Structure 1
Amino acid sequence: MTASTTMTIRVSSETRQKLERIATDTRRSKSFLAAEAVSAYVDRELGIIDGIKRGMADAEAGRLVSHDEAMAEIDAVIEAAEAERAGKA
């Protein structure tokens, strides 16, 4: 099990009331729910930051697709989906 640490945070009264409602409805402690929420937020934000960094590295290395190429590929996917849907109708 990962070691834990204690943090103190400030939230609005509305957020606290919502957290209390979730805690009651799920029979979980507010601390458990808050820790889960912070963990999910941190993981999501780090994923976004890492994706941005990969994109920036790709751009610096010249690994790019033009807007026209990207739109052509998207249009082809949409057309294929519409054709498939029309064939099933």
Structure 2
Amino acid sequence: MATKQISIRTSPDLIVKLDALANATKRTRSHLVNQAMEEFVAREAWQITEIEKALKEADAGDFATESELAVMDDKWMRNAR
């Protein structure tokens, strides 16, 4: 896979932590930063997709009924004990 270089600015403290993690895991800075960016982008994309889906449901008037909310409330109360 072709790669492209980017440049970022970050705190010296974060670089020290990144270097320590790279040494401990025998990985490069690039590998760890790429892994972190992949996970971040995937998580944010998932969240945006879920928000867009929820907005469409709300616009369509697709809300939980009172009985569905009561069942969910009972479940949470049982699990909280």
The TM-score, its normalising length taken from structure 2, stands at: 0.83
In 2: Cα distance, 1:78 partner to 1:53 partner: 26
Q: Check if 1:72 corresponds to 2:70.
A: yes
In 1: Cα distance, 2:10 partner to 2:35 partner: 15
Report the alpha carbon displacement of residue 71 of structure 1 after superposing the two structures with TM: 4.1
The TM-score, its normalising length taken from structure 1, stands at: 0.76
State the match for 1:36 in structure 2.
35
User: Which of the two has higher C-alpha Rg?
Assistant: 1
Q: Check if 1:10 corresponds to 2:9.
A: yes
Please list every run of at least 4 consecutive aligned residues from structure 1 whose deviation after the TM superposition is greater than 3 angstroms: 68-71, 78-82
Report percent identity of matched pairs. 28
Report the alpha carbon displacement of residue 74 of structure 1 after superposing the two structures with TM: 2.4
In 1: Cα distance, 2:28 partner to 2:14 partner: 15
Alignment gaps of 5+ in structure 2: none
RMSD of Structure 2 on Structure 1 (CA): 2.2
Sort the Cα spacing of 1:71 and 1:21 in 2 relative to 1 into closer, same or farther, 3 A: same
In 2: Cα distance, 1:79 partner to 1:36 partner: 38
Alignment gaps of 5+ in structure 1: none
In 2: Cα distance, 1:34 partner to 1:79 partner: 41
